[in-house]
Amino acid sequence: MTKGARIGRRTALRLGGGLFAVAAGMIAAGPPRAATAAPDGIGADSIGHVTLFMGRASVIEDAFARPMQTGMRVRAGSHVVTGEGARASVRLDGGVVLTLGAATDLRIEAQTPDPDGWQGRATLRRGLVRIEFASGSQWAGFTVATRAATATCEGGHFLVESNGLLTTVYADDGRVMVRGTDAGDDGTVTVLGAGSGVDVARGQPPYAPTAWPASRATDMRLRASYP
């Protein structure tokens, strides 16, 4: 292979269109792997670390995908990506745990100080994520943004799922505030109490929350849990 061809190939691997496929194929499926040692770094400005994963999963930074390892540090701007049937959990410093379901791409944003604690944000490009405020958490709130909606919680547990056109939010515990993000939204904010959920279509405001049947809530929880 010529030098020019090698450079072209490296450039192609950086392109976003093939990034998910590259990331998802880097690790063969297997049982959940929990962190057994002190986290080692990807970057000095890390904001959390991988505590558990199962199946094919990667952490993407600066357009390079690294096979996931327990204890791996993540930093602001990292993408955590899971393949089909996979799971991954990241604990952010200060006590918020993010658990990704299968075929998920989540970008973890920077955390910012708040008089009452830390505020955090993540962008869910596709898939499912469960957000849990651990006991004694130093976080004041956490927001998950999708192409259709934003969901913000100040404590408890909640789940967000998105396919790009539709976003589903469920409050497992605590209170979650949901609003649409497209220009067609009128600024309506829907507040979810424990046990209620809402679907938000792209370009539309969220409707009034409804109490979910146990079967639907259980299905969503299971898809963001380890078998």
Give mean pLDDT, residues 157-173.
Answer: 96
What is the maximum alpha-carbon separation in the chain? 62
Kindly report which listed range (1-15, 87-101, 146-160, 188-202) carries the lowest average pLDDT score.
1-15
The arithmetic mean of pLDDT across residues 148-153, rounded, is 94
pLDDT of amino acid 140: 77
Q: Are 50 and 90 in contact (CB under 8 A)?
A: yes
Q: Which residue has the higher pLDDT, 83 or 204?
A: 83
Tokens of 172: 């497992």
pLDDT given at position 1: 54
Q: Any idea which of 6-15, 104-113, 162-171, 195-204 has the lowest mean pLDDT?
A: 6-15
The identity of residue 57, as a single letter, is A
Mean pLDDT of 24-39: 47
In the block, tokens 């999963």 appear at: 57
pTM of the model: 0.80
Ramachandran angles phi, psi of 12, nearest 5°: -65, -40
Burial letters 90-129, b for 16+ CB under 10 A, else e: bbbebbbbbbbbbbbbbbbeebeeeeebbbbbbbbbbbbb
Backbone angles phi, psi at 18, to 5 degrees: -105, 0
More confident residue, 204 or 57: 57
Q: How confident is residue 34, by pLDDT bands cut at 50, 70 and 90?
A: low
Token pair recorded at residue 208: 């009034």
- Which tops the pLDDT comparison, 29 or 104? 104
Instruction: Kindly list the structural domains of the chain, giving each domain's residue range(s) and its CATH number in brackets, ordered by start.
Output: 20-223 (2.60.120.1440)
Which tens digit of pLDDT belongs to each residue from 103-126?
A: 999 999 977 766 667 788 999 999
Packed helices 3-14 and 16-24: angle between N→C axes, nearest 10 degrees: 90
Backbone angles phi, psi at 190, to 5 degrees: -105, 130
* 46 touches 73 (CB < 8 A): yes
| pLDDT for 37 beyond 50 | no
Interatomic CA distance for residues 55 and 18, integer angstroms: 19
Of the two residues 96 and 58, the one the predictor is more confident about is 58
Q: What is the mean pLDDT of the chain?
A: 83
